[in-house]
Amino acid sequence: MPIYEQTYRRWETPRLRGGRWLAVAAQELRVARTSALYRRLLLLSCVPFLLCLFLLLVTDLMTANPSMLLRSLVRQVQFTNIDARFFRMYISMATPFAFIFCLLVGGGSICNDHRHNLLEVYFAKPLGKGEYFFGKLAGVCYVPLCVTAAPALGLYLLHMIFSPGTALEFVRDSYWVPGACVALSVAVVVPTALFIMACSAVSRSTGFASVIACALLFMNSAFGNVLAEVLRVQNLRCLSYTRSLVYLGDLLFGDRTRITLHWGFIIAGFAVLSLLCAGVVLRRIRNVEIGS
Amino acid sequence: MTTPGIGDGAAIVEVSGLTVRYGRRTALDRVALTFREGISGLLGPNGAGKSTLLKTLLGFCRPSEGTARLLGQPAGARSLRRFVGYMPERDVTSPKLSAVSFVAYCGCLAGMPYRDALQRTHEVLNYVGFGEERYRTMETYSTGMRQRAKLAQALVHDPRLLFLDEPTNGLDPIGRVAMLDLIRDIARQRGVAILLSSHLLPDVEYVCERVVLLDKGRVVEQGTLAALTALQGHRVSIRLKEGTGRFARRLAALGRAVEQQEDGSLVVESATAADRKLLFRVAADEGLQVRQFMPVRHRLEEIFYEAVSGNS
């Protein structure tokens, strides 16, 4: 086609049948990338990883060093023991970043499309509400999971590489840690993302959605803790979403906890919250697309 | 790729007994109409049900009664939307993105691989008249540019049927003509069937071949523009160089019904050829020069007001 040819042409290339949710997710990330705050936060979120990487390298290299003095010095510092608690510590450090990313991306995910009348345009294309929903969810969850689960797995691998002498022993003792890291990261990110998307679906702006989400989380946390103190029942702390996450982390990483509630209740609580939030989002989308 | 219902002279849109209700309010009341290839216009005052009809055809509104078929298939089927482009009435923008990103994304949603979508986006943006401003964020666009970006997203996946809801909204006169010329080109040169909804009579008159008049959710008139604005065989319009008043008085004295128009012309009842000869003879007797003599056609505006007032 000559470069000066600017008339309307027919386009006969084959179309993809599925995978539209990937396009939605990629667009969500593209929109998020336009925010300077998001880009700065992306850089800042590397800090916990770099800090843990530094500790891991120091520990591994010092442990490998024949100097007994240095080795015993390193062993004195409790958190430089590379065990399950080290990875739990990393995820705890990365969780606030994951929450802020969910807030930044998810806060505007639905309401901006509504406010700018984009849903009508999108659903006039062969896009289903399920594809749209999963695309948005994937877009919101992608970076938070990259900040929590992916670096934790990377640290695990790096530890095996930098301490070849004890790698087998380490894997035998902590083979469940990668799974626990992924499970805790998913438990932190997915319900949070859905909750913030639901807040976005019922509000008109990103700021408003973020304020609603923060306020509800704060009230929920306060409610759970106050109720537990008043009634002196520790298990009631699990009514608080944030406390439930901590408890789930304790269970997954084998830490001691004062809560005796069965883990099934916590998982069921997260599932109910996720389904409720997904229902709110889908209901909002359904108002636009009702076709078969 | 085969497109259902196009190119074989079949009806592109078939609606029968379609009723759409929003709660207790009836937006469309037993609408029955058929559109074939070319440009068809949906004309009606605000709230007549034009946008509701388009949304029902796209599957955004569920009909209470009746059926609607698009390209030979039940309207609203998702698989059908790859053949349909939609330019909504309301302002659509993705403020933080450029027109390139926005239109390419719409291409991806229509099932185009990203590279194809990007290439096609540039072609379509060239076609609708975008230059380097395509790389600016959409929040900086004027109304005209946003309208053209909206048209580009409707065209990016190469639809066979285009729904345009008030495409000239907010455009200045030059932008309006440019947009209407584009629409005409898409339909006539590229074979895309267009259904244009508007409350602006000149727009519909400028581009449409066939018109459906809607009012209060009902079809009050429909047909080709040529048939609707057919000759009124018994009336002629006469314009004289001067002495219009004298000529009118002389015709009135002869018992002819004469109407003086705002533009200075006269409309005279003239049923036969002999009557017309008489008009020229009178002008010759009075020494007046006839500058224009033409049969009167119905104007779309008259038909519109007549139909709307009849319905109310």
Size of interface A-B (CB pairs under 8 A): 127
| Cα dihedral: B84, B181, B199, B88 (round 10) | 30
User: Which residues of chain A lie closer than 8 angstroms to B189, CB-CB?
Assistant: 7-8
Contact present, A220 and A245 (Cβ < 8 Å): no
Torsion on CA atoms B281, B286, B292, B294, rounded to nearest 10: -40
Query: Is this complex scored with an ipTM above 0.85?
Result: no
Select from B66, B136, B52, B50 the least CA-distant residue to B95.
B136
The mean per-residue pLDDT over the stretch A114-132 comes to 91
pLDDT in tens, B241-280: 888 888 888 888 888 888 888 888 888 877 677 777 888 8
Closest CA to A246 of A222, A223, A271, A266: A266
Say how far residue B237 (Cα) sits from the centre of its chain. Answer: 27
Residue length of chain A: 292
Distance CA B76, CA A287 (A): 14
Q: Chain A: nearest CA to B214, how far in angstroms?
A: 23
A69 vs B117 pLDDT, higher one: B117
Q: Write the single-letter amino acid at B252.
A: A
Q: At what angle do helices A68-76 and A46-64 cross, to 10 degrees?
A: 140
Rounded CA-CA distance A148/B229 in Å is 70
CA distance B302 to B228: 10
Chain A hits for B95, CB-CB cut-off 8 Å, are: 116
CB B47 within 8 A of CB B234: no
Helices and strands, number each (H, E), in chain A: 13, 0
Instruction: Name every chain A residue with its beta carbon within 8 A of the beta carbon of B148.
Output: none
- Closest-CA residue of B relative to A114 is B92
Chain A CB contacts of B105 under 8 Å are 23, 27, 30
- Here the tokens at position A213 are 């989400």
Using a CB-CB cut-off of 8 Å, the residues of chain B touching A122 are 106, 109
- Considering CB atoms only, which of B61, B78, B94 is closest to A118? B94
* CB of A127 less than 8 A from some CB of B: yes
For residue A106, the model assigns a pLDDT of 92
Contact between A26 and A139 (Cβ < 8 Å)? yes
Tens digits of residue pLDDT in B144-161: 999 999 999 999 998 999
Q: B301 is written with which tokens?
A: 């505006």
* Residue B201 and residue B301 in contact, taking contact as beta carbons nearer than 8 Å: yes
The answer to whether residues B158 and B123 touch, using CB atoms and an 8 Å cutoff, is: no
Three-state SS for A70?
A: helix
* pTM exceeds 0.90, yes or no: no
What pLDDT, on the 0 to 100 scale, is given for residue A292? 42
CA distance B282 to chain A (A): 55
pLDDT at A6: 59
pLDDT, position A57:
84
Predicted pLDDT of residue B11: 83
**Across the interface, which of A9, A20, A116 has its CB nearest the CB of B92?**
A116
Which residue among B79, B101, B190 places its CB closest to the CB of A30? B101
Average pLDDT over residues B34-57: 88
Q: For an interface test with A, which of B6, B90, B108, B164 has the most A Cβ atoms less than 10 Å from its Cβ?
A: B108
- On whether the CB atoms of residues B161 and B73 are closer than 8 A, the answer is no
Locate B259 and state its tokens: 């109407």
Q: Which residues of B touch A289 (CB under 8 A)?
A: 59-60
**Would an 8 Å CB–CB cutoff place A287 in contact with chain B?**
no
Cα distance from A289 to chain B (closest Cα, Å)? 5
Average pLDDT over residues B16-33: 89
* Residue B199: pLDDT over 90: no
Residue carrying structure tokens 């009508």: A120
What is the pLDDT, as a whole number, of residue B122? Answer: 93
- Mean pLDDT over B26-45 rounds to 89
Categorize the per-residue pLDDT at A66 as very low, low, confident or very high, splitting at 50, 70 and 90. Answer: low
Residue that has been written with the tokens 């065209």 in this structure: B155
How many beta carbons lie within 10 A of that of residue B227, not counting itself? 11
Does the pLDDT value for residue B59 go beyond 80? yes
Q: Is the pLDDT of residue A227 over 50?
A: yes
CA B290 to chain CA centroid, Å, is 35
Per-residue pLDDT for B49 more than 70?
Answer: yes
Taking the CA of residue A45 and the nearest CA in chain B, the distance in Å comes to 23
Query: What Cα–Cα distance (Å) separates residue B156 from each residue in A183, B152, B169, B311?
Result: 41, 6, 21, 40
Region A12-29: what's the mean pLDDT? 82
A15, A20, A124: residue with CB nearest B58: A124
- Chain A environment of B92 (Cβ under 8 Å): 116-118, 120-121
- Sheet holding B266-269: strands in order across? B258-260, B266-269, B231-240, B290-297
Residue of A nearest to B189 (CA): A8
Q: E-strand spans in B115-217?
A: 161-165, 193-198, 210-215
**Which member of B82, B114, B185 has the closest CB to residue A126?**
B82
What's the pLDDT band for A69 if we cut at 50, 70, 90?
Answer: low
The secondary structure element, H or E, covering residue B207 is helix B201-207
| pLDDT of A255 | 81
Q: Please report how the helices A36-44 and A20-33 are oriented relative to each other, as an axis angle in degrees rounded to 10.
A: 90
Chain B residues with CB under 8 Å of A10 CB are 158, 190
Chain B residue with Cα closest to A11: B158
- Tens of pLDDT, residues B83-135: 999 999 888 988 889 999 999 999 999 988 888 899 999 999 998 989 899 99
pLDDT tens digits for range A129-167: 899 999 999 999 999 999 999 999 999 999 888 877 777
- pLDDT above 90: percentage of residues in chain B: 27
pLDDT per residue over A260-290, tens digit each? 888 888 899 999 999 999 999 999 888 776 5
Instruction: For B109, name the nearest residue in chain A, comparing CA atoms only.
Output: A20
Q: Could you read off the pLDDT of B220-229 as tens digits, one per residue?
A: 888 888 777 7
Share of chain B above pLDDT 70, in %: 93
